[in-house]
Amino acid sequence: MEPSSKRREDYRKHQSSLNLHRNHVFASPAQKMTGNVIARICGIVAVLCLSCGLAWAAHMYFALHSAIDGQDGNTATSARIANRQPISVLILGVDQGLEGRHDKGNSDTIILATANPGKNKATMTSIPRDTLANILGDPGDKYDMFRVNSAYGIGGSKASMNTVSALLNVPINYYVEVNMKALKSLVDAVGGVDVNVPFKFSYDWCDFHKGKQHLNGRHAVAYVRMRHDDPRGDYGRQMRQRQVINAVVHKAVSVDSIANYRKLVKIFNKYVRTNLTFNDMLALALTYRGCSQNISSGYIQGHDAWINGSSIQVASTEELQKASNKMRANLGLEQQILDNDETKLNKLNEQNNHINWKDPNPFTNYQIYHSVVTNESTDSTNNTNGSSDTGNGTGNDNSTGQ
């Protein structure tokens, strides 16, 4: 037998003759290997980013889904939105919880919006909260002529929808009710908002200077609530409300942190009520987005009046008709001559009290003729609402938070 040293020597000679290159990779040019490693690392990072993005999107989807649909348990997309039909939405800013209030409160902000995806056009019409209107509750409920914002105190968002719909002869499909207390939290959650202040003023221990100013939540609430020092009164306040709303929406859609996102979802769940489902909102964002590029804004101009010791805004029939025509046109509806309690009262006051709408002085002789406000007119209004596809468009009127 050969010595082991001889066998080891023969093995090394044999291996050397095979000229193996299996380890040559370690001697390959450094640039080639670096490029390969970078490519692999980039691939891993891309996969991780995609996974995180999908996880974040799923988290956002289900969190919002729970926050919105948890209000009434309805998750279906309404047929009206699914079929891309024109829609109307009543936006209510409720003043409950502010200034020490703990009752139901009134609707401090009233905006009726319409959207027509076929025309890629939207309208936003502000209705001054002191506008005289026949307050309508549930079918059969009879109230009286008073400020339009008092409808919310009578019957919540449903009564507000009935009242505004009858005032303008416009079907209302959906509502979004926002507790004004949420405004402070919303503005703080998005890191504040920038607005262009029209003039210098102070309100609720907050100072505002003319020009661009950054507002935190407390300042934003004061900014949208002040009206007595505004030369345009409630109309100036409506303009400031739209400023802040637009700024909040702009900041909210660009939220880039989990902490802020969770704050927004929590605030929405606590302070916002709507009969729009999450799927409705998703469909609106995807198929109605063109309307946001063509928004026609306006408001109903009222005339100052003192009625039974109360300061009220009375809108002329011409003004109401103009607003009605504009919104009905965007909803694809034929124009109709307004014939409601408000127009009947205007006619009686023009005939009996010689009301002149061009008189700049507040009316002191505008009267409420109670014979005009009848159960018959209330019932006919509610029947009109039902036949015009009002309510939430899904067959359910979940007026939560009332």
Whole-model pTM: value is 0.71
Q: How many other CB atoms sit within 10 Å of the CB of residue 17?
A: 8
Which sequence spans correspond to the domains of the chain? Answer: 70-177+272-387
For residue 297, give the 3-state DSSP assignment. strand
pLDDT band at 24 (very low <50, low <70, confident <90, very high): very low
Give 164-191 as a DSSP string. Answer: HHHHHT----EEEEEETHHHHHHHHHTT
On the question of pLDDT at 165 being above 90, the answer is yes
Q: Provide the residue count of the chain.
A: 402
pLDDT of the residue at 60: 54
From 19-33, 217-231, 298-312, 382-396, the region with the lowest mean pLDDT? 382-396
The number of angstroms, rounded, from the C-alpha of 110 to the middle of its chain's C-alpha atoms is: 12
Q: Which of 65-79, 136-150, 186-200, 328-342 has the lowest mean pLDDT?
A: 65-79
Rounded CA separation 339/139 (Å): 19
User: Is residue 23 pLDDT above 50, yes or no?
Assistant: no
CATH of 70-177+272-387, one of 1.10.3720.10, 3.40.30.10, 2.30.42.10, 3.30.420.590: 3.30.420.590
Which tops the pLDDT comparison, 113 or 284? 113
Rounded mean pLDDT, 378-394: 38
pLDDT of residue 390: 39
pLDDT in tens, 98-146: 444 434 566 778 999 999 999 999 898 989 989 999 999 876 566 788 9
Has residue 57 got a pLDDT over 70?
no
> Residue 299: beta bridge partners?
126
Predicted confidence (pLDDT) at residue 157 exceeds the cutoff of 70: yes
Residue 274: CB atoms within 10 A of its CB come to 25
Q: What is the pLDDT of residues 216-254, one digit of tens each?
A: 999 999 998 887 888 887 778 878 887 887 678 667 656
> Average pLDDT in the 1-18 region?
54
Most confident of 268-272, 276-280, 345-349: 345-349
Look at residue 399 and tell me whether its pLDDT is greater than 80: no
Q: Where are the alpha helices (DSSP H) in 169-301?
A: 181-189, 217-225, 234-252, 258-271, 278-287
